[in-house]
Structure 1
Amino acid sequence: MISTTPPGLQIRPRHLDFDLPNPLPRHWHGGDAFKTHLFDAMSVLFPDGERFFIDSVRLFREQISDATLNEQIRGFIGQEGHHSREHLEYSQRLRDLGYDVDYLERGIKRRLAFVQKHLPAAVQLAATTSVEHLTAIMADAVLSNPQWTAGADPAMAKLWRWHALEETEHKAVAFDVFQQVSGSKWLLRRAMLQSTFFFTFDTTKGLIHMLKRDGLLWNWRVWRDGLVWLWGKDGIFRKLVGAYADFYKTGFHPWQHNNLHLVEQYRGEFDAATTKAVAA
């Protein structure tokens, strides 16, 4: 199996200092608690999740003979490692606001530790491959639809654009590794069902916790407006259903969702910042 990432697309980490707001505005997404805490709850998952992704790909690194794919694995590890570090800082900002991030992380840590200790390496890689599809379709939405971050604090919107760009760049790396070392479509489909359940569970748990700490858990308007934003006629999650379902099709590959134009559109913003940071 060779790399199927478009030729010429380099996958490399951008070491940027995002200088997150300190203190973080409690409702940094346009004053909207639901929107803010949906993003916050997803962010809490990333530090442990992305370390797991790195570990699961490393388990098979020596089995990959294609030089291009090996180079992309190196870039994948670098990008995910930097994402983890930035979201750790983000989590600290949330702790400073009084949210119990340790409580939210506890179940994730236990689950991932169990998976790494008891389940086969191919299952771990299948889990990574499935979650990478979830992040890829959401990344595409962030980059292609300004509605996702409209009204957000500029620094926070920039953080999410950067993360979305790099998730798009490396969206096929874990998939290509899995195709070489296993290729079991049944295993991928099962992993996607499980990943979808736990992603939904953990994100909802975080959202509920943060709304409760804000005293807004039982505010029906917050839930009404938030669910319309997610699942209404123009809801941001509703638009992802088709792209999500493609994963279950025989012969699916991540770059069938060809959004290379978005990579080219946004790379300038962050590559220029990287160059300035190195020069400084």
Structure 2
Amino acid sequence: MLSTTPKGLEIRPRQLDFDLPNPLPRHWHSGDAFKTHTFNAMSVLFPDGERFFIDSVRLFRQQIDDPLLQEQIRGFIGQEGHHSREHEEYSQRLRELGYDVDYLERGLKRRLGFVKKHLPAKLQLAATCSVEHLTAIMADAVLKNPRWLDGADPTMAKLWRWHALEETEHKAVAFDVYQAVCGSKWLRRRAMLQSTLFFTIDTFKGLVHLLKRDGLLWNWRVWRDGLTWLWGKDGIYRQLVGVYLDFYSGNFHPWQHDNLHLVEQYRLEFEPQPKPPERLAHA
């Protein structure tokens, strides 16, 4: 039996004010340039990337008859819209530190413009499914393994946990829309290969630029420790290889990686909790 999105899953945007540090600490993640800029390089991609995700799902919105999936599409669009705005502010903080964010965004803007103009709508949606899987497995790792953010500035760590929570909640929306309007396994696999290549190139380009501006590009210790953190024996990326490859399976569904318990756990951090009833004073 194929996995499906859990019944009753609510996907609701949380419009939070993170009041990002101003100025942003240059190495906000435990004083480590490589760790900080790994996250920064991904963040720079989000404003334009998430607007593309929204647009690719909207192209097929009218073809969806399932009222539950329609409701989830609304939640997906709301969440991704908030993510885009928060990461725009994040990018502005990076600009103020002297990093050339416009340079890092330029190539992505150009490529997404080409894709939207020249490539079929179903391929655009397949690309969204692919990148949503990449972000979902990294989000799962952030929620499951707090050591990803050990030592980080508390506000920045909270921003990334919020993003990870909502990426997890809506991780199957684009995929379920894709299955409803197309479902081609070949197209999905092709899109993942392309998305993986470009995501790797874009994040590496960002990491190189940010380290170069810090005068650390040729510091071998920074690269040694950073690559160990990512790909060493207990590396955080190394642990994602298996779940990444699951996407190529013919029977794949994002919720076959069932981490709903993490959603419930982390919702407590970002949603107001009901106050306990006051005890009546004894007469």
Question: TM-score normalised to the size of structure 2?
Answer: 0.95
Deviations 1:178-204, CA, capped at 9 Å, x for gaps: 001100000000000000000000000
Letter in 2 for 1:42: M
Q: Counterpart in 2 of 1:246?
A: 246
Letter in 2 for 1:249: S
Letter in 1 for 2:80: E
Distance 1:140 1:223 in 2: 25
Letter in 1 for 2:216: L
Letter in 2 for 1:199: F
Task: Give 1:102-141 correspondences, 5 Å limit.
Answer: 102-141=102-141
Distance 1:128 1:4 in 2: 18
Q: 1:259 deviation in Å?
A: 0.2
Distance 2:207 2:252 in 1: 32
Distance 1:272 1:262 in 2: 17
Give the gaps of 5 or more residues in structure 1: 276-280
Q: Counterpart in 2 of 1:26?
A: 26
Distance 2:140 2:238 in 1: 14
Distance 2:178 2:272 in 1: 33
The alignment status of 1:93 with 2:93, answered yes or no, reads yes
Letter in 2 for 1:19: D
Distance 1:165 1:146 in 2: 13
Q: Counterpart in 1 of 2:279?
A: none
**Does the 8 A contact of 2:20 with 2:155 survive in 1?**
yes
Distance 1:269 1:7 in 2: 23
Deviations 1:189-240, CA, capped at 9 Å, x for gaps: 0000000000000000000000000000000000000000000000000000
Distance 1:255 1:176 in 2: 11
Distance 1:146 1:223 in 2: 22
Q: 1:26 deviation in Å?
A: 0.1
Q: Counterpart in 2 of 1:81?
A: 81
Deviations 1:155-181, CA, capped at 9 Å, x for gaps: 000000000000000000000000011
Backbone CA RMSD of aligned residues: 1.3
Q: Counterpart in 2 of 1:181?
A: 181
Q: 1:135 deviation in Å?
A: 0.3
Tell me the number of residue pairs that the alignment of Structure 1 and Structure 2 aligns.
273
Distance 1:178 1:9 in 2: 19
**Does the 8 A contact of 2:4 with 2:256 survive in 1?**
no
Task: Give 1:1-280 correspondences, 5 Å limit.
Answer: 4-272=4-272
Distance 1:5 1:245 in 2: 20
Q: 1:4 deviation in Å?
A: 3.4
SS in 1 for 2:272: helix
Letter in 1 for 2:10: Q
Distance 1:238 1:112 in 2: 28
**Does the 8 A contact of 2:104 with 2:206 survive in 1?**
yes
Letter in 1 for 2:158: K
Distance 1:272 1:5 in 2: 25
Question: TM-score normalised to the size of structure 1?
Answer: 0.96
Letter in 1 for 2:28: W
Letter in 2 for 1:51: R
Distance 2:39 2:58 in 1: 28
Q: 1:9 deviation in Å?
A: 1.4
- Percent identity over paired residues: 83
SS in 2 for 1:272: coil
Deviations 1:40-70, CA, capped at 9 Å, x for gaps: 0000000000000000000000000000000
Distance 2:8 2:122 in 1: 29
Q: 1:268 deviation in Å?
A: 0.9
